[in-house]
Structure 1
Amino acid sequence: MVQHIDPEVIALVALGEPAADDATRSHLATCPQCAEEVASLAATVRTARSVTPADALVMPPPQVWEGIRGALSLSPALDPDTAATRPAPLPGAGDELAARR
Structure 2
Amino acid sequence: MGDHGGGHVPPDDLASIALDEERAARDGAQAAALAHLSECARCREALAALRRVVAAARAASPGDRLVRPPPRVWQAIVDAERARASAPALAPEEDAAGPDDRTPAGGGSGTPGA
Q: TM-score, normalised by structure 1?
A: 0.48
- Higher-Rg structure is 1
